[in-house]
Structure 1
């Protein structure tokens, strides 16, 4: 078996395990076994398991940005369509994983926010960056008069993410994308749908 020596490789291996099993259920030994590395190598790169958690959050968020940024930047789509497509893309990844794993930010938020302050802060930073991205697109939609001028775009962006995370949790329990599809339909085909004459 090929040995993994790079820190980035260890992070990617660990991220996959944590997404599948949760952070507390993932022992360092499980990461070492899958990565085929000696125990000393882990602690050469990470001062603690909490430090490792920060690294996998950063990796997950970087992976998510790589997938979503081209959608957010797509000038061929109007702003609301870009946001809708971004959520559909995440849903598609979830579906490809047999309605398991979900979003690391939501998973660790539930599991670790009350116990690891540095992890909570890093999760908040990641979620705030996501909120800022959506807020910018919602502001453009507002300027194009596709959403009301008096709508607080930052509040809406945060609510979209919160509602999506809730729908994702429900989808994990239900083992179905139905709650996610309902979220997308309600927000983008009903709540934010522009109706002529209104």
Structure 2
């Protein structure tokens, strides 16, 4: 069966979003103009509002697509990896740190970068950011719960509580990474968190 090709309008919309991910990752929210994206995709300026109601709505769709792409890679890896839950967490974040390092530590998580730049100034973008964070944290919480079940991570806190602490530490490490231009501190923090602070209590007491 031959699948129908996407309509030209759908292809154009997808091209705008993909270029938007690139531009926002490089230049941030305030440094990215709609015109530069339209010129890159060769779309007339007057046509933009045929696809998106506003810049805010456009950025919200970019954030959702970015999150979808990231979660697809994450889900595929988790489903096919034979590593332990704790090692899966380490591999995921090592992969992300390596990716950031290859981009000179100036591209962190797009959602986190936009959140740091505009906060809750836009309700539309805020909703997309909160949705993305919630979906990502669900995946992390599931792996942490599995690690707790195997006594790889302390279980005197709930998986959601551990996830909140881990997530806040991770986001803070990314900001420091951008300032320092190095992933070394973020990597050290990651391993201190996972290998020491989150070790099962019985192990901590015997060491």
Q: TM-score if structure 2 supplies the norm length? A: 0.87
Q: Which runs of 5+ in 2 are unaligned?
A: 1-7
1:65 aligns with 71
1:132 aligns with 2:132: no
Q: Distance in 2 between matches of 1:128 and 1:166?
A: 17
Identify which of 86, 101, 106 aligns with 1:100: 106
Conserved in 1, the CA contact under 8 Å of 2:148 and 2:155?
Answer: yes
Distance across 2 between alignment mates of 1:183 and 1:59: 29
Whole-angstrom CA distance in 1 between matches of 2:38 and 2:81: 44
2:154, 2:199 within 8 Å by CA — same for their partners in 1?
no
| TM superposition score normalised by structure 1 | 0.91
* Distance in 1, Cα, partners of 2:155 & 2:186: 27
Report the Cα distance in structure 1 between the residues aligned to 2:143 and 2:49, rounded to whole angstroms. Answer: 41
Helix, strand or coil: the match of 1:114? coil
Where does the alignment leave 5 or more consecutive residues of structure 1 unmatched? none
Match of 1:117 in 2: 123
Q: Equivalents in 2 of 1:175, 1:82: separation in Å?
A: 26
Deviations 1:62-121 (A, max 9, x none): 121122223322451111111111111111111121111211111111122231012112
Give the secondary structure class of the aligned counterpart of 2:157: coil
Contact 2:19–2:37 under 8 Å retained in 1: yes
